[in-house]
Structures are given as structure tokens and as C-alpha cells.
């Protein structure tokens, strides 16, 4: 296929227009663009066109997607869930390659064109998950862009050997170094943070830290993260995932922490957690200039069966849990699931302008607010100018 024209597309924050695509990029946007020989045409008939959905926080290697239903039986605490996952994954003997391939295909079908995935690195699996996921990302590179975080799921300082593995993961191609509750899991915040910031600086990686620790424990951790971000000149390279504590602080304390996040350009990822778990006040953070993004978290895994891997539904959950009813709130949720994640991932050429990569999603909606409110099926998903999914099914051959 030489090119593609999407006709009669309603552009997010723009008019109805045609979009001409050539060489995998948006070549022109305008009324009644001429078709070139060899171009395919999609008749959008007023459907909304958005840039591709961005899943800024997934766990591709541990999903149970595509396997028989697994009844959730883990205890409620973080450490119980970590132990439970180790036991269940050991029993099931699933391959991180196969599982990540299964989930990648599902994400493509739901319109995700970019995903940041945390991949477990630790003394038990060493770098096997990393290498397995990397192979599948390469195999699916025409369909979805993947960025890998080397994630110490069982802790850093409490698990000797993990630091060397994280360093090797960076050498092997992980773009981001992860962390996990420096206080709650490691009980050694300076140890964990000094170590992972050192690897990131040495290897030129970004940082993305799972921070479940609540209240003041979480806030104190953010102070320590901000301090190191400033000292090492890593502004714009550091993200916090979950950061439940931001939903629990007194206004004056929240103000101070938010200022640290903004001043050090530390991004915040929330997936709008289930069960009444506190989560960051999205609109306030956006108004203060903090970068925000969102993600699926674990899709159908040992942590929860509740996440579906659908980033438009995720935007809906962000809006629903935040109580956004106005258009600005609904658009903010969609921005987190698109531009917000793309910025954090440093996605090249992301957007709806001429010259941008032609990564697009088409849905039946009048505007962005309606797209979030109804999160309708994905009519077409386009990756680098090629239709990769249609009406919920990918163009990829079956795995089995």
C-alpha cells in the first residue's frame, strides 16, 4: 500500500477534514484532498479521529490474558500479592513471550499504539522476562511501540543481586529503570533511590517508580525523589506510578509536594485504582502544571481481573472516579491516555499534525468528551499509516 486517505474525519479539537497519509506519516490535512494512485481510502463519515492511545503503565510479562479464567484469591496487602503472584505464575508455568504477545495483540485491537511496560527483573527470573518481552516487542514492532521499564517487583535492597540485574537490563536495552516503595518494601529509601538513580544516570535511562506507600510515607518519598532528580539534572526523565499518597494529603502539604513535582518535571501516572483506593487529584495537578499520564496496570493478572487493557475505557474510569462531567474534565482524561503518555515515553512524531507519525484511532463520536463518555468500539486503528485493527480485531495472524 502506497498511502491512505481517511475521508470526512472529525479531528480532535479541529474541523471535519480528510487526512492523507504517505510514508507512514500524516502528509496533509484538508478538505477534499486528491487521492493518489495506489492509495486506499477509509470513509470516516464524521467519526472522531484521535492520535493513537497510549498505555503508559502495563505489565505485559505477567498477564494471564488468553488463558482460562483465573479466580482471584490473593490477600489484600502488597506483600501478600507479590508472594501470591510468584506462587501462581510458578504453578501455571506461562511463558512471558507468549503472554506478552497475547496482550500486545489485544492492546492493538483496542487502539493502543504505544505502551510503556514494566517487566519483572529479580533474582528468581533474572532477565528472562526482559528478554522474552523484548523479543515479542520486536516481533510486533510494525503494530505497536513498546518502551520497557526494568521493574524490581520483589524489591531492590531486600533482594541481593537485583541491582546488578537492573544495571544489566539497562545494558540489554531497557529504556527505563523502575523502583518500588523504597520505604514500604525495602525499608531503605536512601539505599534504593541512590542505587536506581545511579544506574539511570550511568546508563542514560529514565526512571519510573511504583509508589503505593500512602500518606506521609509516600510524601516523604516524593521529597527524596525530587531531591535526586534535581541533583542529577533528570528533570523530565522521572515518573511516579500510582502515587496514592497524593490523594491523601492536607492541602498545604499537597501544595508543597505538587510544587516539587512541577519544579522537577516529575510525571505522575494514575490508572484510577479500584476499591476506593485514594489517587491523585487529576484536575488540580493539571492546573498546577504537573505532567499526567495513565495506563492499564495489570490486565487480567494475579493482581486483579478488573483491568481490560482498553485505554478509552481507562479514560472513562479516570473521569468517572474523578467525577468529571464537564467537557474539560473528559478531555483531560483523554489527554492523559494520549498526549500525556506520549510525552512521558518521548514518542517521536506523536500527534495529529502534518508530519506526525500516522498513528490514529477512529471511533464513532461527536467529540473527545463523547469518546470518553461512551468509549465506543474502535472502528479502525492505524499504525504508521497502516490499518492494524478494524472493529475490534487485529490484522495480525492468530497466535495459536
- Which residue bears the cell 484538508? 30
CA distances from 71 to 58, 81, 163, 298 (A): 21, 14, 34, 15
Which cell goes with 133? 518481552
Rounded to an integer, what distance in angstroms lies between the CA atom of residue 237 and that of residue 164?
Answer: 21
DSSP line for 208-266: EEEE---HHHHHHHHHHHHHHHHHTT-TTSEEEEE-GGGGSS-HHHHHHHHHHHHHTT-
From 14-22, 120-128, 172-180, 326-334, give the range in contact with a copy of itself by CB under 8 A: 326-334
Residue 116 or 300: the one with the smaller Cβ distance to a copy of itself is 300
DSSP line for 58-93: E-GGG--TTSS-------SSHHHHHHHHHHHHHHHT
- Three-state DSSP class for residue 293: strand
CB of 320: closest distance to a copy of itself in angstroms?
5
CB of 225: closest distance to a copy of itself in angstroms?
27
The interface with a copy of itself within residues 13-32 (CB under 8 A) comprises none
The interface with a copy of itself within residues 54-83 (CB under 8 A) comprises 68-69, 71-74
Rounded to an integer, what distance in angstroms lies between the CA atom of residue 338 and that of residue 8?
Answer: 22
Does the protein bind a copy of itself through residue 330 (CB under 8 A)? yes
Which one of 94, 369, 387, 389 is in contact with a copy of itself (CB under 8 A)? 369
Residue 197 or 303: the one with the smaller Cβ distance to a copy of itself is 303
Give the contacts of 129 (CB within 8 A, at least 6 positions apart). 61, 62, 96, 119, 120, 121
Residue 233 or 275: the one with the smaller Cβ distance to a copy of itself is 275
Does the protein bind a copy of itself through residue 351 (CB under 8 A)? no
Which one of 275, 397, 398, 399 is in contact with a copy of itself (CB under 8 A)? 275
Which cell goes with 223? 521529597
Cβ atoms of 143 and 108 within 8 Å: the answer is: yes
The interface with a copy of itself within residues 303-322 (CB under 8 A) comprises 304-306, 308, 316-317, 319-322
Which one of 80, 255, 287, 366 is in contact with a copy of itself (CB under 8 A)? 366
- Three-state DSSP class for residue 335: helix
Rounded to an integer, what distance in angstroms lies between the CA atom of residue 311 and that of residue 378?
Answer: 11
From 33-41, 213-221, 275-283, 288-296, give the range in contact with a copy of itself by CB under 8 A: 275-283
Residue 127 or 317: the one with the smaller Cβ distance to a copy of itself is 317
Which one of 374, 386, 390, 395 is in contact with a copy of itself (CB under 8 A)? 374
CB of 299: closest distance to a copy of itself in angstroms?
10
CB of 327: closest distance to a copy of itself in angstroms?
5
Residue 198 or 374: the one with the smaller Cβ distance to a copy of itself is 374
Residue 143 or 316: the one with the smaller Cβ distance to a copy of itself is 316
Residue 15 or 161: the one with the smaller Cβ distance to a copy of itself is 15
DSSP line for 13-75: TS-EEEEEEETTEEEEEESSPPPPTTEEEEE-TT-EEEEPEEEEEE-GGG--TTSS-------
From 134-142, 160-168, 190-198, 274-282, give the range in contact with a copy of itself by CB under 8 A: 274-282
322, 328, 343, 333: which is closest to 375 by C-alpha?
A: 333
Residue 95 or 308: the one with the smaller Cβ distance to a copy of itself is 308
Q: In this structure, what are the phi and psi dihedrals at residue 187, rounded to the nearest 5 degrees?
A: 55, 35
Residue 237 or 271: the one with the smaller Cβ distance to a copy of itself is 271
Residue 99 or 147: the one with the smaller Cβ distance to a copy of itself is 99
Size of the site for a copy of itself (CB under 8 A): 35
CB of 27: closest distance to a copy of itself in angstroms?
30
**Residues near a copy of itself (CB under 8 A):** 68-69, 71-74, 274-277, 300, 304-306, 308, 316-317, 319-327, 330, 366-367, 369-370, 373-375, 377
Amino acid at each position: 500500500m502506497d498511502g491512505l486517505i481517511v475521508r470526512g474525519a472529525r479531528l480532535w479539537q479541529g474541523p471535519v477534514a480528510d487526512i492523507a497519509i504517505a510514508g507512514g506519516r500524516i502528509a496533509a490535512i484538508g478538505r477534499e484532498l486528491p487521492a493518489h494512485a495506489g492509495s486506499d481510502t477509509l470513509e470516516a463519515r464524521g467519526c472522531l479521529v484521535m492520535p493513537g492511545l497510549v498505555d503508559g503503565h502495563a505489565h505485559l510479562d505477567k498477564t494471564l490474558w488468553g488463558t482460562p479464567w483465573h479466580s482471584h484469591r490473593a490477600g489484600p496487602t502488597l506483600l501478600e500479592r507479590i508472594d501470591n503472584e510468584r506462587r501462581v505464575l510458578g504453578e501455571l508455568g506461562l511463558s512471558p513471550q507468549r503472554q506478552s504477545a497475547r496482550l500486545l495483540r489485544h492492546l492493538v485491537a483496542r487502539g493502543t499504539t504505544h505502551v510503556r511496560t514494566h517487566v519483572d527483573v529479580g533474582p528468581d527470573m533474572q532477565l528472562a522476562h526482559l528478554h522474552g518481552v523484548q523479543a515479542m516487542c520486536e516481533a510486533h514492532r510494525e503494530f505497536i511501540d513498546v518502551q520497557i521499564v526494568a521493574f524490581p517487583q520483589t524489591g531492590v535492597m531486600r533482594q541481593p543481586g537485583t541491582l546488578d540485574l537492573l544495571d544489566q537490563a539497562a545494558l540489554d536495552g531497557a529504556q527505563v529503570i523502575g523502583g518500588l516503595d523504597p520505604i514500604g518494601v525495602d525499608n531503605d529509601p536512601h539505599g534504593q533511590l541512590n542505587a536506581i538513580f545511579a544506574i539511570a544516570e550511568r546508563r542514560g535511562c529514565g526512571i519510573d517508580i511504583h509508589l503505593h506507600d500512602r500518606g506521609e510515607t509516600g510524601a516523604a518519598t516524593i521529597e527524596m525523589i525530587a531531591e535526586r532528580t534535581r541533583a542529577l539534572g533528570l528533570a523530565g526523565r522521572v515518573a511516579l506510578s500510582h502515587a496514592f499518597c497524593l490523594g491523601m494529603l492536607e492541602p498545604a502539604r499537597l501544595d508543597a509536594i505538587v510544587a516539587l513535582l512541577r519544579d522537577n518535571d516529575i510525571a505522575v501516572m494514575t490508572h484510577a485504582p479500584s476499591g476506593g483506593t485514594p489517587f491523585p487529584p487529576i484536575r488540580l495537578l493539571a492546573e498546577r502544571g504537573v505532567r499526567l499520564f495513565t495506563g492499564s496496570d495489570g490486565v487480567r493478572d494475579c493482581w486483579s481481573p478488573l483491568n481490560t487493557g482498553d485505554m478509552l475505557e481507562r479514560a472513562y474510569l479516570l473521569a468517572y472516579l474523578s467525577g468529571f462531567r464537564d467537557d474539560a474534565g473528559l478531555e483531560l482524561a483523554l489527554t492523559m491516555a494520549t498526549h500525556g503518555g506520549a510525552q512521558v515515553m518521548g514518542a517521536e512524531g506523536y500527534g495529529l499534525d502534518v508530519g506526525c507519525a500516522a498513528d490514529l484511532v477512529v471511533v464513532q463520536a461527536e467529540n473527545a468528551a463523547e469518546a470518553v463518555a461512551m468509549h465506543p468500539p474502535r472502528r479502525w486503528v492505524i499504525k504508521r499509516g497502516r490499518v492494524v485493527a478494524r472493529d475490534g480485531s487485529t490484522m495480525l495472524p492468530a497466535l495459536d
